[in-house]
Amino acid sequence: MSESIGTLFTKLKLATLARDWESIEFTDKTQYLRDLLEYELSSREANRITRMVKTANFQVVKTLDDFDWHKQIQLPDSITKAEILRGKYIKNKENLIFLGSVGTGKTHLATALSVDACNNGTKTKFFTAASLANTLVERNQKGTLGSFMENLRKTQLIVIDEIGFIPLHKEAAELLFQVISECYERKSLIITSNLEFSGWNAVFGDNRLTAALIDRLVHHSHILIFSGESRRLQSAMRTSKMKVS
């Protein structure tokens, strides 16, 4: 007894076609075969992007469509908004550094840009500074740091969010410095911080290490300044006024 077409597609590891082959419209043999293959390829690409977004470890998925590129975001002369949105910094292995007060949109933009990078096929990882530091220390103590670092080497874009919220102890600071050093001129970083560089020594606790880290970060970087009041606070206040009225 002949096997069904769906079963044959499954054996060929064409899972999407096994499920949907009957929905493809038939006009002639060449058109039908082409449409079948294009359908499978587009499905595989969509699944690949979904996996990339999942493994990037975003805390919350944000998109550029949801981002308010407000006038209080100051761009450097070295790059334009259009170039950032096109991912030129990734192609050139450059960094983006977002500095500014809490709630001004730094994390949202960092997340949205890296989600967009995933959608364009860029291998991405997202960490808060605290979570990355904790992972590095834990891996180092367990003897598995090498495999973790090797995984990071395969990544094209790394986001380190919220540098400045929590001071790092010596081992964590040194390991984070190692990550940033290995990224230098090899891949792109997006860094967000609520502190100016002059305050980073309070986070890393060592003048020489902090100076060396900033030196590597700033070289080949574009620094965006986020000013103004917290957008979250403004939104909460507007919501509160609406409820009162």
| 119 or 46, which is more confident | 119
- Tokens (6 digits) for 112: 């949205």
pLDDT at position 178 = 96
pTM over the 0.85 mark: no
pLDDT at position 46 = 83
- Tokens (6 digits) for 63: 């998109």
Spatial neighbors of 133 by CB under 8 A, at least 6 apart, are 168, 172, 173, 175, 176
Residue 224 reports pLDDT greater than 90: yes
pLDDT at position 140 = 97
